[in-house]
C-alpha cells in the first residue's frame, strides 16, 4: 500500500512533508477594543477551534501536527518543533523553520524573542554550537560554522550583513545546491560571535508602518546557519548542512490595511512570495507528484534545497485570539491545515460571558519555571 509520507520510489528523491505547528499567543486586552474576548482556543496538543462567523453557535475545528497553546513557553516551542531537526545539519542535511502569520500574532516573538524570553533563533544557534562541541576527535570530521543574514523585500534579495548591498541573484550549482554569489558569509566560533553580527544587522531590516501595526514587518528576514564538515583523512570529503530560520512578512490581507502606492506594491510582492510558499507547502504535503512551484518567487527559489525534498522543515503558524484578527486567523489556519471540521457548539456564550481563559501568569514566572537556555 502506498504511504504519503517520506516515500522513496525507485531512486527518486525523497519527499518530506512540512511539519505544521500552530502557536496561539496570549489574549491581550489592548488588542480587543470591544471586549469581545477570544474567538479561538486550543482543545489539546493537536487541535483548536475558532468561532464560525457564518453561525456563531458553531465552531470550526482544526487539526495540526502540533498545537502550542497560549501558555506554551519559548523553551517548549523550541524543544518540540526545532531541536529535533538540528542534528541533521551536522550530517550535511538541510532544514528550515518558518514563522508564518498575521502581523501582531507573534512571529518575531517566536523566532527572535527578547533577552528575557529568547526565541527559536538564539536557542537554535546555541544548540548547534553545543552539538558541534559534543563531537570528539574520533568522529573523524572537523566542523566549521558560518552565518549569512538576508531579507527579501519587494522580491529583492538584500544582504543584512552588508548594509549597502543591492539585489543579489539566486543561483543553482550543478549539484542543485542553491547559492547567492556575493552574499556575506561570516565564520562564527561561539554564540557571542553570532550575536555580534546578528544584533546590529537586525536593526537594518526594512520596516514601515501600516494601519495594522506600527512596526509591521514588510519583509521576509532569513537567517542562514551553515555547518561545513571536512573529513580529517584523505580524501577530505566535505559536507554542508544548511539551516534557514525565517521570520516571514505578515500574512494579513493587505486590501484591508489601507495600503496605497508603494505599500500596495510591496504588499503585492510580499503576497507573491507568501502565495508561492503556500503553493509549495501544499504540493509538498499533498503527496502527489505535481510540480512544486519553487521558481515562482524569490523566497521559495532560495529555499528550494532546504524545503521539502530531503530537507527537514517546520512551519510555525502564529495566530492571535482577538476578534480583530479573525479573518487573518482564519486564512492563516486554512493555509496551515487542509482538513477542518464544523462542530455545533456554543463557543460565544462561554467565552464572552465568562472569561474561559485563565488569568495570565506573568511571563517571567513561566519562563523561569522552565529550564532556560
- Contact residues toward Mg ion (CB under 5 A) are 107-108, 217
Cα dihedral 270, 273, 279, 280 sign: negative
* By the rule CB under 6 A, 109 interacts with ligand ADP: yes
Compute the least distance from the CB of residue 120 to ligand ADP, in Å: 12
Site string for ligand ADP, 123-152 (x = CB under 6 A): ------------------------------
CB of 347 to Mg ion, least distance (A): 29
**Residue 318 binds which entry of ligand ADP, Mg ion, none, with Cβ cut-offs from 5 to 8 Å by kind?**
ligand ADP
**Is position 104 an interface residue for ligand ADP (rule: CB under 6 A)?**
yes
Chain center to CA of 185: 22
The CB-of-122 to Mg ion minimum distance in angstroms stands at: 16
The least CB distance from residue 70 to ligand ADP, in Å, is 7
Strand partners, 270: none
- Please say whether the beta carbons of 275 and 300 come within 8 A: no
3-state helix, strand, coil in the chain (%, to 5): 30, 25, 45
Minimum CB–partner distance for residue 300 and Mg ion (Å): 20
| Least gap, CB of 105 to ligand ADP (angstroms) | 5
* Residues in the chain, total: 373
Q: Which does 83 bind (CB under 5 to 8 A by kind): Mg ion, ligand ADP, none?
A: none
Q: Choose from Mg ion, ligand ADP, none: what does 37 bind? Cβ within 5-8 Å by kind.
A: none
Site for ligand ADP in 308-337 (CB under 6 A): 318
Q: What is the 3-state secondary structure (H, E, C) of 110-179?
A: HHCECCCCECHHHHHHHHHHHHHHHCCHHHCEEEEEEEEEEEEECCEEEECCCCCCCCCCCEECCCCCEE
Task: Note whether 366 binds ligand ADP by CB under 6 A.
Answer: no
* 20, 21, 22, 25: which one binds ligand ADP (CB under 6 A): 25
Neighbours of 261 (CB within 10 A): 7
Q: How many helices (H) and strands (E) does the chain have?
A: 9, 15
Asked whether 64 and 73 are in contact (CB, 8 A), the reply is: no
Q: Which of these ranges, 101-109, 130-138, 221-229, 255-263, lies near ligand ADP under the rule CB under 6 A?
A: 101-109
Q: Based on the shown chain and the rule CB under 6 A, indicate whether residue 69 belongs to the binding site for ligand ADP.
A: no
3-state secondary structure of 77: helix
Q: Which residues bind ligand ADP (CB under 6 A)?
A: 25-26, 101, 103-109, 318, 363
Amino acid at each position: 500500500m502506498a504511504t504519503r509520507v517520506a516515500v522513496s520510489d525507485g531512486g527518486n528523491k525523497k519527499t518530506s512533508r512540512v511539519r505544521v505547528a500552530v502557536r496561539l499567543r496570549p489574549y491581550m486586552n489592548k488588542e480587543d477594543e470591544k471586549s469581545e474576548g477570544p474567538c479561538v482556543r486550543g482543545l489539546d496538543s493537536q487541535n483548536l477551534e475558532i468561532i464560525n462567523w457564518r453561525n456563531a453557535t458553531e465552531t470550526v475545528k482544526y487539526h495540526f501536527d502540533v498545537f502550542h497553546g497560549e501558555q506554551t513557553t519559548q523553551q517548549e516551542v523550541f524543544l518540540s518543533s526545532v531541536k529535533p531537526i538540528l542534528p541533521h545539519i551536522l550530517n550535511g542535511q538541510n532544514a528550515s523553520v518558518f514563522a508564518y502569520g498575521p502581523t501582531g500574532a507573534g512571529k518575531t516573538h517566536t523566532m527572535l524573542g527578547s533577552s528575557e524570553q529568547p526565541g527559536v533563533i538564539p536557542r537554535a544557534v546555541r544548540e548547534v554550537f553545543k552539538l558541534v562541541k559534543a563531537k570528539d576527535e574520533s568522529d573523524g570530521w572537523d566542523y566549521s560554522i558560518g552565518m549569512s543574514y538576508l531579507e527579501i523585500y519587494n522580491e529583492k534579495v538584500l544582504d543584512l550583513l552588508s548594509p549597502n548591498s543591492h539585489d543579489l541573484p539566486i543561483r543553482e550549482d550543478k549539484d542543485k545546491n542553491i547559492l547567492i554569489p556575493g552574499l556575506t558569509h561570516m565564520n562564527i566560533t561561539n554564540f557571542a560571535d553570532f550575536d555580534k553580527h546578528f544584533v546590529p544587522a537586525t536593526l537594518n531590516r526594512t520596516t514601515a508602518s501600516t494601519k495594522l501595526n506600527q512596526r509591521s514587518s514588510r519583509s521576509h528576514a532569513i537567517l542562514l546557519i551553515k555547518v561545513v564538515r571536512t573529513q580529517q583523512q584523505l580524501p577530505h570529503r566535505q559536507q554542508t548542512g544548511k539551516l534557514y530560520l525565517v521570520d516571514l512578512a505578515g500574512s494579513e490581507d493587505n486590501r484591508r490595511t489601507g495600503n496605497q502606492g508603494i505599500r500596495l506594491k510591496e504588499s503585492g510582492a510580499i503576497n507573491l512570495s507568501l502565495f508561492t510558499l503556500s503553493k509549495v507547502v501544499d504540493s509538498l504535503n499533498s503527496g502527489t507528484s505535481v510540480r512544486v512551484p519553487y521558481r515562482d518567487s524569490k523566497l521559495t527559489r532560495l529555499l528550494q534545497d532546504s524545503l521539502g525534498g530531503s530537507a527537514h522543515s517546520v512551519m510555525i503558524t502564529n495566530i492571535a485570539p482577538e476578534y480583530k484578527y479573525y479573518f487573518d486567523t482564519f486564512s492563516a489556519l486554512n493555509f496551515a491545515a487542509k482538513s477542518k471540521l464544523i462542530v455545533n457548539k456554543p463557543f460565544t456564550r462561554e467565552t464572552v460571558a465568562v472569561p474561559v481563559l485563565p488569568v495570565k501568569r506573568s511571563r517571567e514566572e513561566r519562563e523561569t519555571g522552565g529550564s532556560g537556555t
